[in-house]
Structure 1
Amino acid sequence: MLELLPALNDRNLPWPDTLHPIVVHFVIASALLVVVFDLIALVARKPALLEVSFWNLLVATATIFVAIIVGQVEAGLANPYGASRELLNQHTTLGWALAGVLSVLTAWRYVIRLRDPQQLPLAFLGAGALLGALVVVQVVLGDRLIWVYGLHTVPVVDALRRGLV
């Protein structure tokens, strides 16, 4: 059965490069744009931007699940070492928590939109600020996995394969 799986490349992946960072950038951009467009809509009194914000929230919610699935596969192939194990666990846990937060915010926003698409309660803005903060923390954790620990980079994978790490 294992012979049916593709061989792993020099990044320890069955595909040419890491896919998780590519997919997750859609989540990052969409989630942060939700907060930005909500603020602009309320400050500049441009309720049309609330619609833009809502659709960005839908995109962020849908794509986070794709990012998580791809991330779980890539995390399983990463061979984390030392402190990167704990960091990867934190990144994974926060990723699932963000999926929950985005799902709840999307459902809440849908109800708000049904009642009055031209208004947004301040409580939702506060929740959006929390979302933005969680996204920033998640980005920092993900960046550390790549730039500090080098997961899925050729030199680190080579060192792991040689038993040097």
Structure 2
Amino acid sequence: MLEYLPPLNDHNLPYPDTIHPIVVHFVIAMVLFAVLSDGIGYFTRNTRLYEVSWWNLFFATISIFIAIIFGQIEAGLAEPYSASASTLNLHTLLGWSLSGIITAVTAWRYVLRSRDPKTLPLPFLVVGILLTGLVFFQVYLGDVLVWVYGLHTVPVVEAVRKGLLQ
């Protein structure tokens, strides 16, 4: 059965380059823009920005699951060595947690929008700020995996294949 799978390239992937970062950048942008739109809308009383925020959260909720699927595939193919394993595990745990958190925030936002689309309670804005902090920490962990540990970079893949990293 393994003969039907495509061969892995020099990035240890069956396709040209990593897909997870591409998709996850959309999620990051949509969540941050949603929180920013809510904040600006709240303080300027421009309720049209609440609609912008809603749709950004809605599509971020869908996109994060796509990002997680590719993240799980690419994490499994990365063959993480011992120095990178704990960071990869924390990044994975926080990614799955963020999928639940973003889904819950979107559901809460849907209820608020259904009741009165022109108002937004202050506690929702506070949750948005906390969500922004979690997203920034997750971005930091992803950056460490690529720029410090070099997962899916050609030199690290070659070192792992030669048994130089364990």
Same fold (TM over 0.5): yes
Mapped to 2, the partners of 1:154 and 1:18 lie a distance apart of 12
The residue aligned with 1:63 is 63
CA deviation map 1:37-96 (0-9, x unaligned)? 000001111000000000000111110000000000000000111221010000000000
The residue aligned with 2:124 is 124
CA deviation map 1:79-123 (0-9, x unaligned)? 111221010000000000000000100110000000000000111
Mapped to 1, the partners of 2:15 and 2:150 lie a distance apart of 18
Mapped to 2, the partners of 1:134 and 1:34 lie a distance apart of 15
Asked whether 1:82 is paired with 2:82, we answer yes
The one-letter code sitting in structure 2 at the alignment partner of 1:89 is N
The residue aligned with 1:72 is 72
Mapped to 2, the partners of 1:84 and 1:66 lie a distance apart of 23
Mapped to 2, the partners of 1:128 and 1:80 lie a distance apart of 33
The residue aligned with 2:52 is 52
Unaligned runs of 5+ in 2: none
The one-letter code sitting in structure 2 at the alignment partner of 1:134 is L
Mapped to 1, the partners of 2:81 and 2:159 lie a distance apart of 11
Mapped to 1, the partners of 2:28 and 2:34 lie a distance apart of 10
Identity over aligned residues, as a percent? 63
1:50 is paired with a residue whose SS is: helix
TM-score under structure 1 length normalisation: 0.99
The residue aligned with 2:3 is 3
Mapped to 1, the partners of 2:38 and 2:141 lie a distance apart of 26
The one-letter code sitting in structure 2 at the alignment partner of 1:57 is L
Mapped to 2, the partners of 1:73 and 1:82 lie a distance apart of 19
The one-letter code sitting in structure 1 at the alignment partner of 2:106 is T
2:145 is paired with a residue whose SS is: helix
Mapped to 2, the partners of 1:121 and 1:45 lie a distance apart of 12
The residue aligned with 2:148 is 148
CA deviation map 1:11-62 (0-9, x unaligned)? 0000000000000000000010111000000111100000000000011111
1:164 is paired with a residue whose SS is: coil
The residue aligned with 2:22 is 22
The residue aligned with 1:138 is 138
2:30 is paired with a residue whose SS is: helix
1:64 is paired with a residue whose SS is: helix
Number of equivalenced pairs: 165
Q: CA RMSD in A?
A: 0.5
1:22 is paired with a residue whose SS is: helix
